Amino acid sequence: MRLDPPIADALDKIALMPNRIGGAPPNVYFVLGRPYEVNAYNLSQGKRLYAWFGCKSCHGDGRGGSGPGFLDGWWSYGPEMVSIFASIRDGRPHGMPAFGDKMTTDQIWQLAGYVQTIGSYEGKTAAPSRNDEKQTRPAENRAPAKLLFDEGPTPVHRDQGPTP
Amino acid sequence: MIHLRRACSSALLAAPLAGCSGNWQSALDVYGTSAISLKHLIILIVAVCSLVWMLVMVALIAALWRSRDARPVSPEPGRERRLTIAVTGAVVATVLIISTFTIMSFVATRALSVAGQDELTIRVRGLQWWWGLEYIGPDPTSRFETANEIHIPVGRNVRLKLEGLDVIHSFWVPSLAGKQDLVPGRSNELTIRAEHAGIYRGQCAEFCGMQHAHMALLVIAEPQADYDTWAATQRQAAARPTDEETATGLQTFLAKPCAACHTIRGTAAAGTTGPDLTHVGGRRTIAAGLFETTRGSLAAWTADPQTIKPGNNMPMVPLTPDELRAMSAYLASLK
Amino acid sequence: MNRPVAAPDTRDIEIERKRLTDALAETWKTPSGIWGALATVDHKIIGRRYIVTAFVFLGLGGVLAALMRIQLAQPEARLLGPDRYNQIFTMHGANMMFLFAVPVMEAVAVYLVPLMVGTRNIAFPRLNAFSYWIYLAGGTLLWTAFALDMGPDVGWFAYVPLSGPQYGAGKRADIWAQMITFTEISALAVAVELVVTIFKQRTPGMTLDRIPVFVWAMLVTSFLVIMAMPAIVLASTSLILDRLVGTHFFNPAEGGDVLLWQHLFWFFGHPEVYIIFLPAAGMVSTMIEPFARRPAFGYLGLVMALIATGILAFGLWVHHMFVAGLPRLGDSFFTASSMAIAIPAGIQVFCWLATLWDGRLVFKTPLLFIIGFIVTFVIGGLTGVMVASVPFDTQVHDTYFVVAHFHYVLIGGAVFPLLAAIHYWFPKLTGRMLNEALGQWSFWLIFVGFNATFFPMHILGLEGMPRRVYTYQPDLPWHGLNLFISLSAVILIAGFLLFFINAFRSARVGEVARDNPWDAPTLEWATTSPPPSYNFPMIPVVGSLHPLWDDRDSLAVANGLRTDRRELVVTTLAAAEPQAREASPRNSIWPLWAAIATTIMLIWSMFSPWAVVWGSVPVAVALMGWFWPKGTPEDES
Amino acid sequence: MREKIVLDLGKLPLYGMGTASVTWWGTLAFMLIEGTGFALAIAVYLYLMNLATAWPINAPPPDLLPGTLVTLVLLASLVPNVLVSRWAEQQNLRMVRLGMVIMSMVGIAPLIVRIFEFPALKVSWDSNAYGSVVWTLLGLHTTHIITDLVDTLVLAALMFTRHGGNPRRFGDVQDNVMYWNFVVATWLPIYGCIYWLARL
């Protein structure tokens, strides 16, 4: 719940490739045991942040809108956590704003973990289940990407498939 | 103190018990119309029940005392008959008391709804772990938002529209009225009415997760004129920074993640996830009743909310000491 | 069919005593060694196991309670964080209700009911073995999860939406729900066994009006289990479905309802209280006889009160929801029914008082606990009447007043009689007496400690302290009483420790017990302490409610049962006239396999719905192994 | 304590049938448990229906055909079922063997139709609470058909072994018959709920 400031600082220092796609998270991320991918609390907090920070207005429930969707196996910048983290923190061309000044490092990681989970083809044990609201698609723990877009355009970007 | 309380409680009597309390969150220290009548009911029922218990104890002690002499044991018809009569009598008395209680309770239930016209309506939203308040007036301009501190005029009926926005919470200000749950998907209402001016503390009474223990609110009952002044202030936008420090504070607030979750009317901060901070400096407490509002407590809270209230939804935002100083000065100035 | 009709020499007619008991012992024995222990279906061994396990869970739950009291002894203490505290109070409640209180009552019944009705084993003994393994698996699951920081943190009644898919992250709520499934399977199994044992295996002559009150209480309790547990099955299943596959039972946005959970939970949850209390009341009615040295006054009234409580128990669940915003008129109906249940409770209390009044009392530890029970249970009952009143309840609901109330009912009303029962039946369980001096010490410590711990909580509740808070602020006037309570809890804990020490010590070196050390009137005292594997060398025949008091020199028995197969008498429902010499199953390892297969299926099903499909295959295989005839004499007809 | 013999049980039969059998009572107790479960599930259906402004929620009423077909098959199955019970009472091994084979097939038939019943609900379990409750009701009942079918199959196999001639097995067959009657009986209110209440 409370990330010590030095750890938060360290978690902020991701190593991105020059094209800002892919890279490596800081070592501390692995030391902590990839908490933003496997910890159910972080993922469910990520889901709340997804709603609170208005991600829905562009990305909908994950199927996209004015922004790209996450369920179709098409990751514009790759499915790695660092890429998603960088997209949220620094923004991306064509309209993705930077959230680095609106969210803390901890929150960005939580949100990144959740976003990656939406597009996952395998339901994670720790993934959140449905919300108490109108149902638009199967919840993340049931791997909606697999249910909804199994025959989607995956082959085109096989190298950037949904499972990191 | 402890001995005094024990002495009061040991007799299971409500009357001395009431004398022992004297705090601002108690079902026995009452200043609201329905809480007052509830206290009468509580005292009555507790008194009758205490009497019943004592009678049973007298019978028990007498039975134990009696048994010390050695008598023949085989049951004989005459004794069995007398016992039957005694037991039947006790059962009949039980039935009578129970029926009386049921009728009393039924009558008191009807009295729970405060009579008369509602004069003020407030939407109370329960969230993990704070209270969102929206005063609804006759016209849109008179509505305003605040959090965790309800001001009401003394002697007026105030209707609370209770909405649970995430999980179930329960609105309970014992000195004013009994509790009522805020249930997601259902709309409950509660009418309260303070007979005396005062500050009444309340607390969420339905387990709602990690920080259920720190989800308090204050109800401040004040004379109509004071209430009107307060409401007029609340409708206004936030005070503008008056000096350099508070101006820096506002800038920091807007530049940092703070503004993404909090609204300060009159500035660019328009987040809706956290409490409205337009007049946070004028509220008596922060963090849902956790601290008295001072510049120091505001700074402490902003600096490390997760240590103070673990699990709450406010993240720890890295701030330099200067930023923290400026921001707490600014927030404290939002009267 | 496959064998010749039983030759007369295999029956217990006119054979020498030693040969009879040797033959019976050979037929009914539990082989020594681990395999024998795992395969046994002896109700006494399983009952003892059940009791010991339940008391282990009591101890563990007590540790949790102690942790909570340390945390609450002072305001804003930092011993436990909110996350850990929430797990602890949830674990305490769930553990005490599902792993201690209900199982321990059924455990005592598993041990005693067959003895009290004079039969040789419980009905469906393999189901009995299965139910124990399932219970053990459920308890292990819960505590393992807690040790891994995955313990449920949603309260023992796990209200949605907090326990639902959106707010209950991770598997914590699923662990709770599935632990419920384990305990309800085991409770339902035991309930079926008890109902059938009491209906069909009563000894010849034990007509309905000659059934000991404890047995009556277990009959009513078993029906409560049968009628109430399906509600929680349905509730926990729909919760898991909501969480796992996205159903919408509790989602208001899609036509579900949050209060549906509360209705289902309390439709089970209120009878649950009587599932715990009725056996205790039955124990008191039965134990009071030897200590008052007269029959319990008002047998018919006592039995009718039990039945009336059982029926009324289903009409009160809404009194847990008085502040949820249901229509007030409906609430008033439930006020009336909740108040009405005080009447059968009153009848029993008055009958016990009349018995004590007229009796010649023997002040031994069990009687002390019975007296302590009357003192405290009446308080719990009266506060129950208080919270049954809607307006009263709006002030005390979900406060420490309610915490005090239900501890008075559950500890005062059920644990005190249970402790009396352990002291009373200990010789029958172990063959040794509990130490009387230590017993009296532990009674006084527990009685004083309990009242000093829980009585002040009434006041705290009225002073506005809500329950389930992990701390409270220093400016609230609660710290004095809280400190007092925490200190008093030390006395209570000391009392329980003394009881445990006494039990351990006496089980090994206690005074050896005679068959009937209390001069009690019921059948379990007609056999040795502890009873042999076949319970009775010859089946007793009873002609009254107090067979051992009618004739203190001799016991009427029946003969004609075979000694070479496990055989017991089936009698008619009301008149208890012999109908058949039915076989009772032999030891079998299959119940254990079935329990393991079921455990795998249930735990797996927290993670994938397909577990129900694939996981049920091994369960089916195990059940086939269980029921497939093995050609033993028991299969003859 | 001295024992005095007052009763001789030696002449009693070695097992009991019907109400003299503990298994019969046990089956009855389990039926009571499951019956309560069904009743509560139906109560949940009615509760949700009562709350909803329109019922079914966002879905057409289910197709009548598969459900009605299942109902007819189940009702028809009562005839061989009752016959098996009668043969079992007469301890007629040949006919019981035949009857158990028939009942095994009769048990499979509704399951095959049931496969088409789920899509005929025209709503998914995760669409809304209506979908959740009808799927649960149908699933719950399907579990019972499967359970009894497995029991019937095992018992049918058992009848062809050396254990088949044991009169105990006839008692088991009768309990199985009773349970199948229960499975059919519980279906009727569920059928009424799912198919007809949704059309009111």
A101 lies within 8 A of chain C by CB: no
Strands B158-164, B120-127: pairing kind: parallel
Strand order in the sheet with B144-147: B144-147, B130-136, B120-127, B158-164, B188-192
A130 in D contact zone (CB under 8 Å): yes
Q: E strand or H helix at C622, and its extent?
A: helix C610-627
Question: Is the separation of the CB atoms in C473 and B290 below 8 Å?
Answer: yes
Q: Is residue B190 part of a domain?
A: yes
In the structure, what pLDDT confidence band is assigned to residue C625 with cuts at 50, 70 and 90?
A: very high
SS3 assignment, position B151: strand
What pLDDT, on a 0 to 100 scale, did the predictor assign at position A142?
86
Q: Predicted confidence band at C624 (pLDDT cuts at 50, 70, 90)?
A: very high
User: In degrees rounded to 5, what are phi and psi of residue B156?
Assistant: -110, 150
Look at residue B23 and tell me whether its pLDDT is greater than 60.
Answer: no
Question: Which string of DSSP letters, residue by residue, matches B44-82?
Answer: HHHHHHHHHHHHHHHHHHHHHHHTTS----S--HHHHHH
Answer whether residue D6 is part of any domain.
no
Tokens of residue D76, six digits: 């028809």
Give the burial class of C504: count Cβ atoms within 10 A of its Cβ; 0-12 exposed, 13-18 middle, 19 or more buried.
exposed
- The two tokens of residue D192 are 């009424």
Looking at residue B47, what is its pLDDT?
A: 95
Write the CA distances from B114 to B195, B260, B294, C90, C529, integer angstroms.
Answer: 12, 41, 37, 37, 66
Between β-strands C554-559 and C539-540, what pairing exists: parallel, antiparallel or unpaired? antiparallel
Nearest chain A residue to C242 by CA distance is A130
> Are residues A102 and B313, on separate chains, in Cβ contact within 8 Å?
no
> What are B319-332's pLDDT values in tens digits?
999 999 999 999 99
If one counts every other C-beta atom within 10 angstroms of the C-beta of residue A159, the result is: 6
**Alpha carbon of B324: minimum distance to chain A alpha carbons (Å):** 15
* Contact across the interface for B306 and A1, Cβ inside 8 Å: yes
Among D105, D60, D104, which Cα is nearest to D198's? Answer: D60
A109 has pLDDT over 90: yes
Q: Which residues pair with C567 in a beta bridge?
A: C583
At C10 the pLDDT is 64
SS3 readout for C483-504: HHHHHHHHHHHHHHHHHHHHHH
Instruction: Check pLDDT > 50 for residue C241.
Output: yes
Residue with tokens 């005459």, as numbered in its chain:
B78
Residue of D nearest to A142 (CA): D126
Closest-CA residue of chain C to A132: C251
CATH number at residue D146: 1.20.120.80
Measure in Å the smallest separation between the Cα of A141 and chain C Cα atoms.
7
Residue B39 lies in a domain: yes
> What mean pLDDT is predicted for residues C183-208?
96
Please state the domain extents for chain A: 5-127+135-160
Asked, for residue B250, whether it belongs to a domain, the answer is: yes
- C-alpha torsion D109→D110→D111→D113, nearest 10: 90
Q: How far apart are CA B231 and CA D87, in angstroms?
A: 86
The answer to whether A135 touches B288, Cβ cutoff 8 Å, is no
Give domain status of residue B76, yes or no: no
In a shared domain, residues B226 and B160 = yes
pLDDT at D83 over 50: yes
What is the model's pLDDT at position A69? 86
Encode pLDDT of B138-155 as tens digits. Answer: 788 889 999 999 999 999
CB C238 within 8 A of CB C249: yes
Cis peptide before A97 (omega within 30 of 0): no
- In the block, tokens 């800038």 appear at B251
Mean pLDDT of the C165-175 span: 92
Contact A1 B311 (CB under 8 A): yes
- What is the CATH T-level fold of the domain C42-585, as seen in this structure? Cytochrome C Oxidase; Chain A (1.20.210)
For residue A130, the chain D residue with the least C-alpha distance is: D126
Residue D154 has pLDDT above 80, yes or no: yes
C305 and C340 in contact (C-beta within 8 Å)? no
Q: Please list every residue in chain D whose beta carbon sits closer than 8 Å to the beta carbon of residue A130.
A: 126
Residue B43 has pLDDT above 80, yes or no: yes
As a whole number, mean pLDDT of residues C220-247 equals 95
Chain C partners within 8 Å of B10 (Cβ) = 455
Point out the residue among D9, D14, D128 whose CB comes nearest to the CB of C559. Answer: D9
Phi, psi of C589 (to 5 degrees): -85, -15
Cβ separation of C390 and B181 shorter than 8 Å? no
pLDDT value at position B19? 32
CB contact under 8 A, B316 and A101: no
3-class SS of residue C615: helix
Q: pLDDT digits over C336-359, tens only? A: 888 999 999 999 999 999 999 988
CA B105 to chain centroid, in Å, comes to: 23
Contact B254, B266 (CB under 8 A): no
The overall average pLDDT reported for chain B is: 87
Q: Which fold has domain A5-127+135-160?
A: Cytochrome Bc1 Complex; Chain D, domain 2 (1.10.760)
Give the mean model confidence (pLDDT) for residues C172-187.
94
Ranking B116-130, C181-195, D59-73 by mean pLDDT, the lowest is B116-130
- Reported as a pLDDT band with limits 50, 70 and 90, residue B114 is low
pLDDT tens-digit series, residues A18-42: 888 888 899 999 999 999 999 999 9
CA distances from A26 to A88, A90, B27, C430 (A): 17, 17, 55, 63
Assess whether B229 and B124 both reside in one domain.
Answer: yes
Query: Residues D49-64: pLDDT tens digits?
Result: 999 999 899 999 999 9
Question: Given this model, what pLDDT does residue B73 score?
Answer: 57
* C304/B157 Cα distance (integer angstroms): 49
Percent of chain B whose pLDDT exceeds 70: 89
With respect to residue D2, please indicate whether it lies within any of the assigned structural domains.
Answer: no
**pLDDT recorded at residue D105:** 92
pLDDT tier for residue B72 given thresholds of 50, 70 and 90: low
| A70 and A96 Cβ atoms separated by less than 8 Å | no
> What is the CATH number for B208?
2.60.40.420
Provide the number of structural domains found in chain D.
Answer: 1
Say how many Å lie between the first and final Cα of chain A, rounded: 26
Centre a 10 Å sphere on the Cβ of residue C256 and count the other Cβ atoms it contains: 28
Overall pTM > 0.95: no
Integer Cα distance of D180 and D173 in angstroms = 10
Domain hosting residue B311, numbered range: 244-332
For residues C501 and C551, give the distance between their C-alpha atoms in angstroms, rounded to a whole number: 37
Structure confidence at residue A157 as a pLDDT band (50, 70, 90): very low
Q: Of B234, B257, B290, which residue constitutes the final position of a domain?
A: B234
How long is chain A?
164
Task: List the structure tokens of A151.
Answer: 């025959």
Each residue's pLDDT tens digit, B224-256? 999 999 999 999 999 999 999 999 999 999 999
Alpha carbon D53 to chain centroid, angstroms: 34
Asked if residue C161 has a cis previous peptide bond (ω within 30° of 0), the answer is yes
Q: Which of B71-80, C64-73, D124-133 has the lowest mean pLDDT?
A: B71-80
**What is the number of domains present in chain B?**
3
| 8 A C-beta contact, residue A146 and residue A84 | no
Interface test with C, best of A132, A142, A146, A148 (most C CBs within 10 A): A132
Report pLDDT for C13: 72
B89 domain-assigned: yes
Q: What share of chain D is helix, strand, coil (3-state, %, to 5)?
A: 80, 5, 20
Q: Does the pLDDT at position B21 exceed 50?
A: no
My answer on whether B180 and B124 are in the same domain is yes
Q: What is the DSSP letter of C565?
A: S
Does B15 or C108 have the greater pLDDT score?
C108
Cα B45 to Cα B48, B58, C395: the distances in Å are 5, 20, 13
8 A C-beta contact, residue C152 and residue C180: no
CA distances from B98 to B49, B94, B103, B207 (A): 10, 6, 9, 31
SS3 D56: coil
Taking the C-alpha atoms of B17, B23, B25 and B28 in order, what is their torsion angle to the nearest 10 degrees?
30
Q: What is the mean pLDDT of chain C?
A: 93
Residue C466 gets which letter from DSSP?
B
DSSP letters of B178-195?
--EEE-TT--EEEEE-BS
pLDDT, position B22: 35
Q: State the Cα torsion C602-C603-C608-C611 to the nearest 10°.
A: -40
* Residue type present at position D191: Y
Average pLDDT over residues C484-494: 97
In the predicted structure, residue B20 carries a pLDDT above the cut 60? no
Residues B182 and B227 in one domain: yes
Phi, psi of A132 (to 5 degrees): -80, 65
Q: CA A162 to CA C618: how far, in whole Å?
A: 35
Measured in whole angstroms, the distance separating CA B141 from the mean position of its chain's CA atoms is: 29
How far apart, in Å, do the first and last CA atoms of chain D sit?
Answer: 71
Report the share of chain D in percent with pLDDT over 90: 80
Locate the chain A residue with the closest alpha carbon to D127: A135
Is the pLDDT score of C109 beyond 80? yes
Residues 6 or more apart whose Cβ sits within 8 Å of residue C398:
B170, B179, B205, B206, B207, C323, C466, C467, C468
* Positive/negative CA dihedral, B258, B261, B263, B266: positive
Same domain (yes/no): B104, B153: no
Mean pLDDT of B40-46: 93
Number of continuous H segments (helices) and E segments (strands) in chain B: 10, 12
Asked if pLDDT for residue B16 goes beyond 70, the answer is no
Helix (H, G, I), strand (E, B) or coil at C573: coil
Residue C2 has pLDDT above 50, yes or no: no
Whether pLDDT at B126 is above 80: yes
Confidence of residue C4 (pLDDT cuts 50, 70, 90): very low
User: Of A101, A104, A132, which has the smallest distance from its Cβ to B315's Cβ?
Assistant: A104
Residue C194, Cβ neighbours under 10 Å: how many? 28
- What's the token pair of residue B263? 């609204």
Q: How confident is the model at residue A138 (pLDDT cuts 50, 70, 90)?
A: confident
Amino acid at site C190? V
Spell out the residues 6+ positions from residue B58 whose beta carbon is closer than 8 angstroms to its own: none
Structure confidence at residue C82 (pLDDT)? 93
Q: Which residues of B touch A97 (CB under 8 A)?
A: none
For chain D, what's the residue count? 200
A125 contacts chain D (CB < 8 A): no
Q: Say yes or no to pLDDT of B12 above 60.
A: no
- Pick C124's closest partner by Cβ from D13, D26, D150: D26
In this structure, is residue D10 part of a structural domain? no
DSSP C325: T
